[in-house]
Structure 1
Amino acid sequence: MSNASKKQAHLLGFIQHGVNSHATGMWRNVQDKVNYDFSTPSYWRHMAQTMERGYFDAMFIADELAPYSTYENSSDATVKYAVQCPTHEPSTIATIVTGATEHLGVGVTLSTMFVHPYSMSRLLSSLDHLTEGRVAWNVVSSYSKSEWEAYGHVEMTPRGERYEKMEEYMDVCYQLWDSWEPDAIVADKESGIYADPEKVRIVEHDGKYFKCHGRHFCSPSPQGRPVLWQAGSSDRGRDFAAKHAEAIFAVHPNVERMRQYASDLDERLETKFNRAPGSVKYIYGLQTVVAETRSEAEEKYERIVSCIPLEGALAWISGHFGLDFSTMDLDENIKNIEVPGIQGLFESLIYAKDPEGKIPLTVKEAALIYAQGMGMPRLVGTAKDIADQMEYFMDEGGADGFMLAATYTPGCFEDFANLVTPELQRRGRLRTEYSGKTLRQNLLQG
């Protein structure tokens, strides 16, 4: 296969606006944030420039709206072990990221549950203007009880109703984003007319969950709408992703699960929603630990694992899966447990130890595996080792790209840009220049 005919990888840097990210105990690592403070602009400028140097499509900023409080019915362990805590609001760094770069996009995770769609559409249009068309929205519905409690709700809305509400939410946002006609702005200084009101539609929406009467308060942004990302994993979630998303983020521990997911989403796209094959990018979670030699990479990996506190790991899976794992035997087979939380990630975790899911996985093992990076594949080795596996996931698993989860920052992304990026480029698996101006143009390329 010639380099010209090979699928090229789309790369996203998976991070949170916080002291920790998706490797529990990351902050303890002697290689983490050396000479940097996550709460300062200089850190984010450097992170952004590093990812752009590595030819990433975007920085993907995950979020959680409140400290997890399912473990022991308290957020004490979350705070004690810095389990994605503290975490600052994600959209506040979007313009820092894009202001420090020319091509890198930024994806912000924003929940539909506690903000009216009128406010959300205005925020995202504003960000799309200020990033010059390089913003994406990761659409979520708030899955943990701590978020609902923090916003004054005694109980969470059931999963099915949350998706129903999100469908209406998206409809209102679409109406607002599309309400300005392309030639609505006249900007005639002589007559004093700036915009033609006949070409700026008033949105009239009276639905089950939302009411809206008003014009979108932002003029059309460079992308019109932000790029839409989704992480649908349950059956209902996959339908939502197949209907709305332009890129879908999924965590699968092996190539067999990746292939099954890609086939399922392909069928939903074409048969349920009449979308063209290839119109949605499948981005799979991946954690890489790379060095000049395998032994050095193994040492780095062992350091990462050694930083994980067991109680912190249990607090994280309790928050994500909606069950208090402090009440369970650490030696219990996790396959026998039903969870109300993020089902797709829980199912993937079962297969993280054994591709067929037949070897028992204990609660303790599951917590420690999840704390390393949510059960996604962990690639440890040289740049050649990493690139070999990435090619395998692309060619055999249907991956269009990878969400590269942080292990220690900014070092893990520096290592990738310095070592893996050149190897992927040599193989024709990664761009050598950005061809588009907007995130949508770069993400949907190839």
Structure 2
Amino acid sequence: MAAAGQVENRIVSKKKAHLLGFIQHGVNSHATGMWRHPRDKVGWDFSRPAYWQHMARTMERGLFDAMFIADELAPYNTHGGTSDPIVKYAVQCPTHEPSTIVPIITTATKHLGVGVTLSTAFEHPYSMVRRLSSLDHLSDGRVAWNIVSSYSKSEWDAYGVEMTHRTRRYELLEEYMEVCYKLWNSWDADAIVADKASGIYADPAKVREINHVGEFFRCKARSFVAPSPQGQPVLWQAGSSDRGRDFAAKHAEAIFAVHPTVTRMRHYTDDLNNRLDKFERPPGSVKLIFGAQTVVADTRSEAQEKYERIKACIPAEGALAWMSGHFGLDFSTYDLDEYVQNIEVPGIQGLFESILYARDGAPVTIREAAMIYAQGMGMPVLVGTATDIADQMEVFLDEGGADGFMLAATYTPGCFEEFADMVVPELQRRQRFRTSYAGTTLRENLLQG
């Protein structure tokens, strides 16, 4: 009996996965060429509300934590010194502003959160706080902020500003967050009186004016938005460099990372938990969400056929142009048979590692790397039946340290419909996924075990 009880306890204590849908507010997301796919957006227009409402309801039906909206502020212009191939092959282009669809998504759902990517590079913290707090109110507390500082030359060119060095950007980012925290905390919980008889709405003594004078920012103001349901949005980060991982360990409530193998996932998990200790945060207090792309079907052979069709949509030049933009190198000037292991990049270091280790350390040429990256940023691609995909996810949870998965889109909305209808029930059957939401805010659901 004792042995049976121990088995039962092990089953009950299984880690349950968190799921997020990884998308952009554009015609194409993170699988280059998907707009060409015969099943992509059939009957849907990405620039209209109905598409986003359907996507949101699909993810909520699958009990996802959130829809996570990535962003890029301008077409990449690194490849050949021009953005022509980006425009030509719809490489994350056109892309619309991400926060504009938050109310559309959250009014169509009751529980689904929205993670919105917003750059600190070209917006003052005062207006950032005002926008995010307003969105948190309108969503009933279901907003997350993916904090980025703009890594792409094209973004700085678009805003007419000289690009700062990465180290300097993190110094600015730390002060940026300091101002945001001051503004979010400037209202006391009981500041609003709303006494109609006296005419007093709020007690000025409980709505403090901050007076920040720093190296990068000045701000003398009270926050113009009263405290939102979450107080502040859930803070999300994708720190990958050494400095970026420190920033994530200090500030983030959840971290998104791309690692192609379970070994790399475990290395990242252990490293982040060590860094959490440095900032006096307990191990496991930050959710680690790893990227994954799935291709599911009733049989393995059917899934493989679907996967080959997805790969066939990728334009080679578009793949190279995207990789050039992300990594800050003009790969049009390289021998495509050169190994990426011999190259240093100024761009997103963590994502470049996803290419370096795409084949468990075996050499990868630039030509091969571009096609791997264009499938989904070097994420592991899980191809097979619902059982096959759940098997692999369990390995990532138990051996890699994952708390959940950022599911990169292929053709939409079909890829999310298929996952919700096929893989989610299999994960639930194994007690690896929730059967209901824990609360009403995104933070409550994200913290759910």
Using the size of structure 1 for normalisation, the TM-score is: 0.98
Cα deviations by residue, 1:381-404 (Å, 9 ceiling, x for unpaired): 000000000000000000000000
1:276 paired residue number: 282
How much has 1:300 moved relative to structure 2? 0.8
What is the 5 A alignment of 1:253-402? Answer: 253-270=260-277, 272-353=278-359, 355=360, 357=361, 359-402=362-405
CA distance in 2: counterparts of 1:125 and 1:360, whole angstroms: 47
Extract structure 1 runs of 4+ deviating beyond 3 A: none
Cα deviations by residue, 1:7-60 (Å, 9 ceiling, x for unpaired): 000000000000000000010000100110100000000000000111100000
Asked whether the equivalents of residues 141 and 441 of structure 2 are also in contact (C-alpha less than 8 Å), the reply is yes
Cα deviations by residue, 1:418-440 (Å, 9 ceiling, x for unpaired): 10000000000000000111000
What is the 5 A alignment of 1:66-81? Answer: 66-81=74-89
How much has 1:147 moved relative to structure 2? 0.1
How much has 1:277 moved relative to structure 2? 2.1
Aligned to 1:286, what secondary structure does the other structure show? strand
What is the 5 A alignment of 1:38-437? Answer: 38-153=46-161, 155-270=162-277, 272-353=278-359, 355=360, 357=361, 359-437=362-440
Percentage of identical aligned residues = 76
CA distance in 2: counterparts of 1:343 and 1:5, whole angstroms: 35
Asked whether the equivalents of residues 314 and 374 of structure 2 are also in contact (C-alpha less than 8 Å), the reply is yes
2:3 paired residue number: none
CA distance in 1: counterparts of 2:427 and 2:188, whole angstroms: 42
Number of residues paired by the alignment? 441
How much has 1:4 moved relative to structure 2? 1.9
Among 13, 23, 26, the alignment partner of 1:15 is: 23
Cα deviations by residue, 1:53-99 (Å, 9 ceiling, x for unpaired): 11100000000000000000000000000000000000000011111
Asked whether the equivalents of residues 274 and 283 of structure 2 are also in contact (C-alpha less than 8 Å), the reply is no
Aligned to 1:442, what secondary structure does the other structure show? helix
CA distance in 1: counterparts of 2:364 and 2:423, whole angstroms: 32
The code of the aligned residue for 2:340 comes to I
Cα deviations by residue, 1:355-396 (Å, 9 ceiling, x for unpaired): 1x1x22100000000000000100000000000000000000
How much has 1:278 moved relative to structure 2? 2.0
The code of the aligned residue for 1:206 comes to V
CA distance in 1: counterparts of 2:303 and 2:66, whole angstroms: 25
Unaligned runs of 5+ in 2: 1-6
How much has 1:299 moved relative to structure 2? 1.0
CA distance in 2: counterparts of 1:56 and 1:431, whole angstroms: 9
Unaligned runs of 5+ in 1: none
The code of the aligned residue for 1:128 comes to D
How much has 1:213 moved relative to structure 2? 0.2
CA distance in 2: counterparts of 1:316 and 1:416, whole angstroms: 27
How much has 1:185 moved relative to structure 2? 0.2
CA distance in 2: counterparts of 1:248 and 1:347, whole angstroms: 17
CA distance in 2: counterparts of 1:257 and 1:347, whole angstroms: 9
Using the size of structure 2 for normalisation, the TM-score is: 0.98
Aligned to 2:265, what secondary structure does the other structure show? helix
How much has 1:177 moved relative to structure 2? 0.3
Cα deviations by residue, 1:316-352 (Å, 9 ceiling, x for unpaired): 0000000000000110011111100001110121111
Aligned to 2:293, what secondary structure does the other structure show? strand
CA distance in 1: counterparts of 2:285 and 2:110, whole angstroms: 25
